[in-house]
Structure 1
Amino acid sequence: MGKRRRVEERRKKRPAVVGGMIAVVVGGAGFGVYALYGGGAAADDGSTSAAAGQKAPRVRADPPSAAETKTMATRFLTAWQQGKVAQAAASTSDSAAATALLTGYTKDAHITDVTLTAGKAGGAKVPFSVQGTVKYKGVSKPLTYSSALTVVRNSKNGKAQIDWHAAVVHPDLQDGDTLVTGEAGTPPVKAVDRDGGELTAAKYPSLEPVLDGLREKYGKKAGGKAGVELQVVRGKAAKAKKASDKTLLALSKGTPGTVKTTLSPTLQAAAEQQVAKTARASVVVMRPSTGEILAVANTGHGFNTAFNGSLAPGSTMKVITSSLLIEKGLASADKVHPCPKTFTYGGWKFHNDDDFQITGGTFKASFARSCNTAFISQAPDLDDDSLTKQAQQVFGLSMNNWAIGVPSFDGQVPVQSAAQMAASLIGQGGVRMNPLNMASVASTVKAGSFHQPYLVAPSVDDRTVATASRTMSSGTLSQLRELMNYTAAAGTAAEAMAGLGPDYGAKTGSAEVDNQDKPNGWFTAYRGDLAAAGVVQAGGHGGDTAGPIVASLLRLGGG
């Protein structure tokens, strides 16, 4: 009896196994849970486990070694090439997303006979080439392209793995996109410039996303016939960024319909050349009297920042703010206007560049030198929605109703209060623009009224273009032109705009961005019946970076 009791007691003291984990029980209460493998669950703070009496092992956080990088890249690429999807996906940071995309690679994209060849690693990044064949209903075509993967360390267990993004499978994929081969739902288009010359991505690399957008909008209307293609079909995230479906390979081309654009071959070629000289540059040229877009170019060709970017415009926003202040009698071009070193509003202390100040100077002087406090100091006399209404009613912005012929973003000037409202007066806070928007702002000043920009004439598809509900008074418009003219002649834009006068005007801008060493450099200007705006991200002062790009295009004239 005593022996049986001792055995029962020993059994009661054994740890209970719950859901594949061992729960250590002390005094009848659960004290800790430990994994069956890997030496137990490590405490996040590296503290000592009271139950184990030992310090939990630390998770490795050092960069993957060259050996780890090579091992993981080889493991992933080999499994992918052999069609072992589950094994390849298990090597990544998101096995579910990897499984879905790699499965679709064969099932939906119909890509077979894949050969993957790794190149020389650069740190944890491994480039690789892809060779395969796309086969669909008796039609086949070879497919070749280059991609890359990056090996990272899992933050939870310290193991090396592939940092998963859809771009690993193909560089044109964004997360959430898929690859599909089949009869294209949208016929191809042949886009031509204003003179009838064909526009191709080979000739004008910046137009690649524009051409995709033109096909999406006009493919079925232009009278073409669809072919069989391998396409990138955009997911929710990419569509939210206004990205269009993209053809990667045409197995049978189909018959394209023709779409005429407003682009100038001379200005488009020049714009491409200009942005190619500078990293992360974007520019748009348009005609103020009509709204026709004459050129659009970006250094990076994947995302059309010029049309779809959403960036703080910095001091170029002061063109809109100035029109507001003049209308409300809070500023006048030739009247004395305050420009102190700093101004506090809504709990924020606003500064000028290098804390400069202008004593006894005019509003024109403050505008030309881009004095922030000259604008912030007027915030107490403005309503929270004053700038929003001005942008919408006079400049046609921030109403999400532009119809230019391809996807675009028409700016954002939200109603804000306190410090954020003040910041919006100088193009910070919640204000967001792109070069198309700011070229339109300069065009509105030059033309005297808003003309919605467009790339394809509205008459092609009888679409309704956006309009502004009112125009500036002649007095306000005259002063605003005086401000921009003076800035081009003697202000921060003078160096870039040298020799382009007298029928011209400009405004520079620099927009601070969190975790970015240099601000984004902006520039918007007009000359004759041309207007243009550009941004160089992380470029510094707009007059030095975006200014020369814009001025060089205005110098060409006519279009």
Structure 2
Amino acid sequence: MRSGVKVTIVGGVFAVVASGVGYGGWNLWNGLNGGGGGGGGSDTGGVSAQSAPKKTGPPDAEEIERTAREFLAAWASGNALTAAQLTNNAAEAEPMITGYSTKAHVTEAVIEPGEAVGAKVPYTVKATVEHGGVSKPLTYSSSLTVVRGLTTGKALVDWQPSVVHPQLTKGTSLVTSEASAPPIKAVDKDGVELTEEKFPSLKGVLAELRQKYGSKAGGVAGVELAITSSDQGIPDRTLLTLTKGRQGTVKTYIDAGVQAAAEKAVKRYDKASVVAVEPSTGRIRAVANNPAQGFNTAFGGAQAPGSTMKIVTAAMMLDKGLVQGAGSKVECPATVTWEREFHNLKDFDLGTTTFQRAFARSCNTSFIKPVKPLGAEAGTALGETAKKYFGIGEVWETGVKTWDGSVPASSGAETAAAYIGQGRNQMNALTMASIAATVKAGAFRQPVIVPQSLDDRALAPTRHLPAGMAATLRQLMAAAATGEGTGAQAMASVSGVKGAKTGSAEVDGQGDSNAWFTGYAGDLAAAAVVGSGGHGGDSSGDVVARVLNAR
């Protein structure tokens, strides 16, 4: 903006203070003197806004400055109606602006606008929040954008909740009150404290644990300014603590060392998620995402898993007697047709080979052609196997919110695609880590991040794989992790008995495939997905190996 403007709230009474060149001593918002209308004030020196011709095109620099100045001044003056009418969505803007004082309990604030960049005007807010006789300072930066009103032609603030605070979104509010849950001290399996500062990927998880278990952990709630959601399933996000209350301690199954390795590993790639699970117990040892903030893709993502799904396909083939073991002979032609043509990577052809080698080399056609004789049953067999042996389709009560995978019934070419991890199959790093853990242990144990004793929640039942199936799957995954296997290079640094499976999943409109990798070593299994990461043995394999090496 061309000159400095400060709008301030003093002692709960909103007032306007001007500074800098060009504004003198007159009110910044001419509506404060009775001039101007609710549809957007104008300081054009007596020219009626109603008589002016309707403007078109982007707002000019003068309109941007004036609109931003008038909006900020109206907001600071406590006139929520006027401020809201200076936006292009007054119905949504007014209650949020009103709530700044009535719900958030902001009693003093100074807004300092910066230089406009095009139609965007940044500003810094230095505020005081007061509740129950306790006050604390709050400082943050946000911005607004000025646009042309579609119906009025006036320059208006493009209303977004982030205008009031950058972390506000539709359906959320700023509220200062007694916290909805007591604070917690979350600790790992050995009692090491877990904080979002040290482990950024755990921020959302820690908020969920607090919301769900804070009252069970012996704590006492304090007073906080928080972002609350109209969705009761979304935990509050604390912005400012006025009184701390008393912490309760929540023990998790996270391993701080493995978590640290996971956090570091995903940072090597722009979009990456990883989960580590202990096969013998199902306990979640690590979860990490890059970016760390926002949606927890590792637990909540729903994406085609590519050829990592061949672990489940192999189990189905063994269960249905389509193959007898790792040494069974299968065909691996370059292509196979099932209503459409399916290819191997670069159309490689192994001819007649063993089931083990087809798995190790990730031959698509070897996992499609033998299934065709099942006929209509082929459309449901994969999902039945996924649920029967791997718990996919059960409800997983891990202790926090997760999405637990889906292998729906299919038909036609979609069925063939499903057997190589495409089609409508959807997984995430958690479910694929669990699948690898199930193979290693010979039994599905539902993943958990906190003890069941905290809330006596129901867990999906343990499912044991037939001994012969488990042994064969381990043999297949060992072959993929060594020798000519597609995961050999990634797993080369991992010691001990190990197994792996690579995958790449094509996504419509995305140039490079998503890279998948799942594997195990010792009593730890992990799975990772890297967005647009290409071949699973490269990016996602690197993430998994780094996590397994932290065990």
Shorter-chain TM-score: what band? Answer: 0.7 to 0.9
Deviation larger for 436-445 or 424-433: 424-433
Deviation larger for 150-159 or 90-99: 150-159
1:548 matches 2:542: yes
- Counterparts of residues 128-167 of structure 1 (less than 5 Å): 128-149=123-144, 164-167=159-162
* d(CA) in 1 for partners of 2:155, 2:312: 51
* C-alpha spacing 1:64/1:295, structure 2 compared with 1 (3 Å): farther
Note the residue ranges of structure 1 that are not aligned, 5 or more in a row: 1-35, 41-56
Question: 1:316 corresponds to which residue?
Answer: 308
* C-alpha spacing 1:131/1:528, structure 2 compared with 1 (3 Å): same
Note the residue ranges of structure 2 that are not aligned, 5 or more in a row: 1-49
1:268 matches 2:259: yes
Deviation at 1:143, TM superposition (A): 1.1
1:532 matches 2:532: no
Deviation at 1:385, TM superposition (A): 2.0
- Counterparts of residues 428-467 of structure 1 (less than 5 Å): 428-467=422-461
* d(CA) in 1 for partners of 2:183, 2:280: 32
* d(CA) in 2 for partners of 1:378, 1:325: 8
Deviation at 1:503, TM superposition (A): 0.7
* d(CA) in 2 for partners of 1:67, 1:117: 18
* d(CA) in 1 for partners of 2:148, 2:486: 48
TM-score for both structures, normalised by structure 1: 0.81
Q: 1:487 aligns with which of 472, 480, 492?
A: 480
Q: 1:216 aligns with which of 211, 221, 232?
A: 211
Deviation at 1:318, TM superposition (A): 1.6
- Counterparts of residues 142-541 of structure 1 (less than 5 Å): 142-149=137-144, 164-236=159-231, 243-300=234-291, 301-331=293-323, 332-345=325-338, 347-380=339-372, 381=374, 382-399=377-394, 401-468=395-462, 470-489=463-482, 490-541=484-535
* d(CA) in 1 for partners of 2:447, 2:53: 64
CA contact (8 A) 2:216 2:454 kept: no
Amino acid at match of 1:552: R
Amino acid at match of 1:495: Q
Deviation at 1:303, TM superposition (A): 2.0
DSSP 3-state at the match of 2:274? strand
Amino acid at match of 1:136: H
Deviation at 1:88, TM superposition (A): 4.0
Deviations 1:32-87 (A, max 9, x none): xxxx99999xxxxxxxxxxxxxxxx9x86xx8887776666555545444444344
- Counterparts of residues 1-12 of structure 1 (less than 5 Å): none
* d(CA) in 2 for partners of 1:321, 1:38: 70
* d(CA) in 2 for partners of 1:407, 1:473: 31
Q: 2:107 aligns with which of 91, 103, 112?
A: 112
Deviations 1:382-413 (A, max 9, x none): 432222221112111222x2111222121122
* d(CA) in 1 for partners of 2:268, 2:453: 36
DSSP 3-state at the match of 1:496? helix
Kindly tell me the number of residue pairs found equivalent between the two proteins: 496
* d(CA) in 2 for partners of 1:178, 1:88: 18
* C-alpha spacing 1:351/1:184, structure 2 compared with 1 (3 Å): same
CA contact (8 A) 2:213 2:454 kept: no
Deviation at 1:145, TM superposition (A): 2.2
* d(CA) in 1 for partners of 2:127, 2:478: 58
* d(CA) in 2 for partners of 1:467, 1:109: 45
Deviation larger for 315-324 or 110-119: 110-119
Deviation at 1:91, TM superposition (A): 5.1
* d(CA) in 2 for partners of 1:67, 1:409: 50
CA contact (8 A) 1:268 1:297 kept: yes
Deviations 1:337-393 (A, max 9, x none): 233333343x44433333333322333233223233332334532432222221112
Amino acid at match of 2:298: A
* d(CA) in 1 for partners of 2:145, 2:532: 25
* d(CA) in 1 for partners of 2:157, 2:256: 44
* C-alpha spacing 1:328/1:257, structure 2 compared with 1 (3 Å): same
* C-alpha spacing 1:67/1:509, structure 2 compared with 1 (3 Å): farther
Deviation at 1:203, TM superposition (A): 1.6
CA contact (8 A) 2:266 2:273 kept: yes
* d(CA) in 1 for partners of 2:366, 2:64: 55
Deviation at 1:310, TM superposition (A): 2.0
* C-alpha spacing 1:182/1:477, structure 2 compared with 1 (3 Å): same
* C-alpha spacing 1:338/1:128, structure 2 compared with 1 (3 Å): farther
DSSP 3-state at the match of 2:177? strand
Deviations 1:407-441 (A, max 9, x none): 21211222232233332222222222221111111
* C-alpha spacing 1:163/1:267, structure 2 compared with 1 (3 Å): farther
Deviation at 1:157, TM superposition (A): 8.4
Deviation at 1:446, TM superposition (A): 0.3
CA contact (8 A) 2:142 2:162 kept: yes
Deviation at 1:214, TM superposition (A): 0.7
CA contact (8 A) 1:209 1:243 kept: no
* C-alpha spacing 1:183/1:344, structure 2 compared with 1 (3 Å): same
* d(CA) in 1 for partners of 2:284, 2:370: 35
* d(CA) in 2 for partners of 1:379, 1:188: 53
* C-alpha spacing 1:495/1:110, structure 2 compared with 1 (3 Å): same
* d(CA) in 2 for partners of 1:203, 1:376: 46
Identity %: 50
* C-alpha spacing 1:548/1:163, structure 2 compared with 1 (3 Å): farther
CA contact (8 A) 2:493 2:545 kept: no
